[in-house]
Amino acid sequence: MAIRAGIEARVIPQDALLGLGTVKVPRKDRLVLTRHDLYRIIKASEHYLYGLVIRLLVVTGARLGEILGLTWDRVDFAKNTITIDRTVDVLSRCRKDDTKTPNSRRTVILDAETMTKLSEWKKKSHDKVVFMQNRELVFKSPAGKPLHYGRVHKMFKAILKKAELPDMRIHDIRHAVVTLLLAEGVPAVTVASLVGHNVATTNAVYAEKIKISQGLNFVSESQKE
């Protein structure tokens, strides 16, 4: 699994995910999410055509625009990684050849199950007729364009309902995974590297040594209970 790979590689502390419990997402309504809640989101997403978008948001902590801007040439099935270095404006659907900030460019190791689903999605996508100039997008509309935010938003609301979770924003997934890792002692500089944040501390020097970030292990067998 994704973050387990990081632990084995000694990039992330071995006890980083032990005893993950309830944490609070920084919102006025003080939304509470648990690690198991994120697993429920993943499982519920499997019932929807573009549910893999939501799964990737959970296991990477990425921004929605980064996942919608993901292209197949940035998916490495041999190394089980995706490289995030492009994005899509979620409102205008304009593709950008760069991320929000320089720190947002990163490579993330994914768990085997997520990579398998990406492989299955690639075969399914390439079986469809699309405009060649957009063929490389991992997620695209039937017309071959980047997915419309409204479509993803509507699907996410349905996923929350199926998972029996309270209403929240798509971006709250990102806040949740970051908060969970920080609450369990994963160094801030490591978390910043995982999700493409900037950490203005002396520890940021260490971030330069992290060549490949580790994904988030919210899909492990332990989450099924």
pLDDT (tens place) for every residue of the chain, 225 residues total: 454 455 455 544 444 444 444 444 444 554 667 889 999 999 999 999 999 999 999 999 899 999 999 999 999 999 999 999 988 887 776 766 655 556 678 899 899 999 999 999 998 887 654 544 445 889 998 888 889 999 999 999 999 999 999 999 999 998 888 878 777 777 777 777 777 766 553 244 333 433 344 556 655 444 444
Task: Give the pTM.
Answer: 0.75
- Predicted confidence at residue 69, as pLDDT, reads 92
- Predicted confidence at residue 195, as pLDDT, reads 76
- Predicted confidence at residue 142, as pLDDT, reads 84
CATH fold, domain 2-214, is hpI Integrase; Chain A (1.10.443)
| 3-class SS string, the chain | CHHHHHHHCCCCCCCCCCCCCCEECCCCCCCEECHHHHHHHHHHHCCCCCHHHHHHHHHHCCCHHHHHCCEHHHEECCCCEEEECCEECCCCCCEECCCCCHHHCEEEECCHHHHHHHHHHHHHHHCCCCCHHHCCECCECCCCCECCHHHHHHHHHHHHHHCCCCCCCCHHHHHHHHHHHHHCCCCHHHHHHHHCCCCCCCCHHHHCCCCCEECCCCCCHHHHC
- Predicted confidence at residue 174, as pLDDT, reads 86
